[in-house]
Amino acid sequence: MKNLLKNKNSQLVESAINIIINEHIKLVHTLKYDDVAALIPIINNAKHIFIMGAGRTGLMMKAAAMRLMHLGYNVHVVGETTAPAIGEGDLFIAGSGSGTTNGIVNAAKTAKKVGADVVCITTNSSSPLAELSIQTVLIPAAQKQERDENVSKQYAGSLFEQSLLLVFDALIQTLWDLDGSTASELWKRHANME
């Protein structure tokens, strides 16, 4: 009985992973890579980069901030106590599935008001956040309130959040390839007080 349950659970886990991977395979065929690549000069021209997202999306954005720091960019996570004021020539990168999260939209308005550029990664190209942005990357995933199993069988915004991490990691990999730094050079910026 115990082995039967273990085998059933293993099959369920394998099925879940296959569902997730297949959703990503479907998604990558509909992603507009030119829109992602358009972020490269915007990031490279920024004095400082400010990153923001809420909830699980915020965690993915923090992961992106860490890798941008490893590449040598001057990057800050909005809401952290060490984040300075945003100003002219800076860049605000927001991740928001809906593009309507009040705190993120208000931060984008502030960034724009002081002369910073705003870009976003979202599922909603007609959202208030997208309207404030000079560049929008659309991830064709269900928003967390949607229950369309044709788009995703996963709970809430999981596909968006996972895709956000993958898209940002692909962008960072590309920035690294273009930069030509070695892994050893990047490692010098890795946290050493862990």
Q: Where are the alpha helices (DSSP H) in the chain?
A: 2-28, 33-37, 39-45, 55-70, 102-113, 128-132, 158-179, 183-187
Closest Cα to residue 165, out of 29, 57, 66? Answer: 57
Annotated catalytic residue within 146, 161, 185, 194: 161
State the amino acid at position 94 in one-letter form: A
Q: Are 93 and 137 in contact (CB under 8 A)?
A: no
Which amino acid, residue 6? K
Annotation marks residue 23 as catalytic: no
Q: Are the CB atoms for 104 and 53 separated by under 8 Å? A: yes
Active site residues: 161
